[in-house]
Amino acid sequence: MALPFIAGLALGALGVIAYKNRDTLKQKSENIFKEAKQKGEILKKDIETKISKTKERFEKKEVVEKPKTTKRTYTKKAKAEDGVSK
């Protein structure tokens, strides 16, 4: 029955602690944001290089058309009238 009150007290205590340590939390979050931004830029450069490499490969690749082959047609053999097949 008292569970919501205990949960509210715990959340309130966490809010007070976070308010007291807001400067350190702000610095840590800025550091994390900078690291994520750097990793994103590195990833972007890698993707751009891979895209340019694949474009170059497709431009260098010569298109070779295969000669069209005629489709084989099959015909049924006529059955012998005496019932014996050859």
In the chain, pLDDT over 70 holds for what percent of residues? 84
Residue spans of the domains in the chain: they are: 12-60
Cα gap 11→43, rounded to integer Å: 38
Give whole-number Cα distances, 72 to 66, 67, 68, 77, in Å: 17, 15, 12, 16
Cα gap 38→32, rounded to integer Å: 10
Whether the pTM exceeds 0.85: the reply is no
Tens-digit pLDDT profile for residues 12-54: 999 999 999 999 999 999 999 999 999 999 999 999 999 999 8
> Whole-number mean pLDDT of the chain?
85
Single-letter amino acid, residue 59: E
Cα gap 84→80, rounded to integer Å: 6
